[in-house]
Amino acid sequence: MATEQEIRDLKHRHAPDLLARPGVNGVGVERDDAGEYVLAVHLDTDDPETLKQLPEEIEGHAVKYIGGGPFRKLPAQ
C-alpha cells in the first residue's frame, strides 16, 4: 500500500508525460474504492484506442482513469 506522499511523488514525476498524451486533461491523487491512494488520470475521451495507449500501472502502482470531459473554468462569483 502506497502512502499519499509516495503517490504525490509519482504524480510529480509522471504528470508531464501523461498530460502530453491525447485525451488526458488532468492528473491527481485520489483514493480508490478500497481507500488506497492512487494516481488519478482524468480523461476527456472514452475512445478505446486512446485508452489502449495509457498504462495500467506506473512504477508498480495502479492508475485510476476517470472520464468526465474537458475541464472548464467557472465564472467568478
Residue range 12-32, pLDDT digits in tens: 999 999 999 999 999 999 999
Cα 1 to Cα 46: distance, rounded to the nearest angstrom = 28
List per-residue pLDDT tens for the chain, 77 residues long: 899 999 999 999 999 999 999 999 999 999 999 999 999 999 998 888 888 899 999 999 999 999 876 666 778 87
Cell of residue 62, nine digits: 495502479
| DSSP reduced 3-state for 50 | helix
The reported pLDDT for the residue numbered 48 is: 83
> Nearest-CA neighbor of 30 among 14, 8, 59, 60?
8
Name all domains of the chain by residue range, CATH numbers in brackets: 4-67 (3.30.300.50)
